[in-house]
């Protein structure tokens, strides 16, 4: 059974879907937020799941070492970034190679990278006049939103689309593809471990 940590900075609707999903050989063992008022922390509480807030504004340079300590304490095997609005360093990522995934509210490689997060993404999509958007789940590497894509689904934009209506549509897609991607992550880690044991 793999222990999964979910990192979330705000509402946590994606977290909620994960907390309501039964995974094969994996379980959500910890919810971590950088934001003390993130509703995601309340969701973890409601589900009786361990949760922790590490506020970068308070801990400063120690932010990632504090996160690492929490990962060790809870024996975390892999990490899901579900609305986590801070960028993790290459050094942090190297502790979890191919074991961190992220959900992004656009069709990567469009409207992604540094500065594209949350509602800003949907505003940019509409400003550009794009006719489709969607959601992507990808492995996290040292390039922001640059790792290999695991799952992706497109949606058509309507003539009268607003950033809010687009956000709602994208969220529906996210809630469908994220649990599938998390199961894929679990399977890929276990398959690799099995392979390494045999050789
Ligand atoms: C989601 O749309 C997620 O894709 C996005 O934040 C939202 C969080 O919603 N993530 C990013 O923009 C990361 N670059 P939620 O808190 O309701 O799950």
Chain segment 107-160, per-residue pLDDT in tens: 999 999 999 999 999 999 999 999 999 999 999 999 999 999 999 999 999 999
The pLDDT value recorded for residue 187 is 98
Give dist(CA 34, CA 84) in Å, integer. 8
Domain range for 11: 2-198
Percent of the chain with pLDDT over 90: 96
Is there a catalytic annotation at residue 104?
yes
Instruction: Tell me, using a 6 A CB cutoff, whether residue 49 lines ligand 1.
Output: no
Number of domains in the chain: 1
The residue-averaged pLDDT of 20-45 equals: 98
The pLDDT value recorded for residue 145 is 93
Instruction: Tell me, using a 6 A CB cutoff, whether residue 13 lines ligand 1.
Output: yes
CATH of the domain at 14: 3.40.50.170
Mean pLDDT taken over the chain: 97
Whether the predicted pLDDT of 199 surpasses 80 = no
Paired tokens of 135? 């959601």
Chain segment 37-76, per-residue pLDDT in tens: 999 999 999 999 999 999 999 999 999 999 999 999 999 9
The pLDDT value recorded for residue 165 is 98
The pLDDT value recorded for residue 142 is 94
The pLDDT value recorded for residue 83 is 98
182 close to 18: Cβ distance less than 8 angstroms: yes
Say how many Å lie between the CA of residue 102 and the centre of ligand 1: 9
Instruction: Tell me, using a 6 A CB cutoff, whether residue 117 lines ligand 1.
Output: yes
- Is the Cα torsion angle 32, 106, 175, 123 positive or negative in sign? positive
The residue-averaged pLDDT of 174-189 equals: 98
Residue 162's φ and ψ, nearest 5 degrees, are -120, 165
Confidence category of residue 193, pLDDT binned at 50, 70, 90 = confident
The pLDDT value recorded for residue 7 is 98
The pLDDT value recorded for residue 89 is 97
Say how many Å lie between the CA of residue 57 and the centre of ligand 1: 21
């Amino acid at each position: 059974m793999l222990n999964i940590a979910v990192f979330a900075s705000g509402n946590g609707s994606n977290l909620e879907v994960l907390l309501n999903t039964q995974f094969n050989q994996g379980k959500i063992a910890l919810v971590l937020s950088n934001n003390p008022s993130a509703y995601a922390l309340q969701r973890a509480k409601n589900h009786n799941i361990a949760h922790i807030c590490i506020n970068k504004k308070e801990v400063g340079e120690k932010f990632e070492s504090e996160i690492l300590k929490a990962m060790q304490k809870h024996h975390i095997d892999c990490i899901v970034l579900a609305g986590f609005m801070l960028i993790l360093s290459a050094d942090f990522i190297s502790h979890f190679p191919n074991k961190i995934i992220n959900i992004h509210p656009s069709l990567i490689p469009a409207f992604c990278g540094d500065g594209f997060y949350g509602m800003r993404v949907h505003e940019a999509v509409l400003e550009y006049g794009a006719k489709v958007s969607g959601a992507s789940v990808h492995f996290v590497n040292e390039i922001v939103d640059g790792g290999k894509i695991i799952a992706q689904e497109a949606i058509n934009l309507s003539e009268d689309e607003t950033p809010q209506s687009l956000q709602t549509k994208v969220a529906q897609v996210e809630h469908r593809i994220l649990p599938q991607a998390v199961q894929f992550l679990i399977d890929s880690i276990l398959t690799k471990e099995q392979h390494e044991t045999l050789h």
